[in-house]
A and B are shown apart, each in its own frame.
Chain A
């Protein structure tokens, strides 16, 4: 099955892309997807981010389904100056 992975901010620049289609096995969890991704993008290994699946925060244990949109979410910093 295939999932879409979206990268934002620092991770978008690191990976050089905004999104990527990734082929994974049926029943793959978020953690397993990340492991697979970090082979292609070693920068993702530091885990300084959260994950969203279909625009909602998700756990590492969450199983994925075909067509899911998985987003790598760096710590947010919107609003006015910190």
Chain B
């Protein structure tokens, strides 16, 4: 349920993998490669991961969600490698009895992913590529 993979991401089997009879709400978030950045045409993106650590951090996000919302069923899949515009890079699925916690937990997962999961992306333009860097998390232990 927590994976970094080079394979294409299909949300439907991931949803089926977390769904239970006790659930009334499933929130799915897809991150896709955008064709524009700062007004410039993006040709494609390159995603790179520190895979062992990234998968560990994805599991941790699942644990954090369980503690905050008592939401059991979370899936986080991140694709890496060269991804073309329009392709899905991220799938987050949260299934819960009611929509409130499912929306909140899904939002939290995406925000948290950008803080602690060691995955980087390079936007490649016609005239070269640029690594996109977020803010460093200096308060990390």
Q: Which residues of A contact B (CB under 8 A)?
A: 6, 8-10, 12-13, 48-50, 52, 55-57, 59, 71, 73-82
Q: Which residues of B contact A (CB under 8 A)?
A: 30-34, 37, 47-50, 52-54, 56, 78, 89-90, 110, 113-122, 131-137, 140-141
B52-A8 in contact (CB<8A): no
What chain B residues lie within 8 Å of A10 (beta carbons)? Answer: 120, 131, 133
CB of A36, distance to nearest CB on chain B (Å): 21
Q: Among B33, B90, B120, which residue has its beta carbon within 8 angstroms of that of A76?
A: B120
B31-A77 in contact (CB<8A): no
A80-B56 in contact (CB<8A): no
Measured between alpha carbons, how far is A12 from B131 in the docked complex, in Å? 11
Q: Among B31, B50, B122, which residue has its beta carbon within 8 angstroms of that of A73?
A: B50
Measured between alpha carbons, how far is A48 from B120 in the docked complex, in Å? 14
Q: Which single residue of chain A is at the shortest CB-CB distance from B135? A: A75
Q: Which residue of B47, B56, B131, B141 has the most chain A CB atoms within 10 A of its CB atom?
A: B131
Q: Which single residue of chain B is at the shortest CB-CB distance from A48? A: B136
What chain B residues lie within 8 Å of A49 (beta carbons)? Answer: 136
A82-B89 in contact (CB<8A): no
A75-B52 in contact (CB<8A): no
Q: Which single residue of chain B is at the shortest CB-CB distance from A55? A: B53
What chain A residues lie within 8 Å of B56 (beta carbons)? Answer: 55-56
B118-A82 in contact (CB<8A): no
Measured between alpha carbons, how far is A75 from B116 in the docked complex, in Å? 9
What chain A residues lie within 8 Å of B133 (beta carbons)? Answer: 9-10, 48, 74-77
Q: Which single residue of chain A is at the shortest CB-CB distance from B33? A: A81
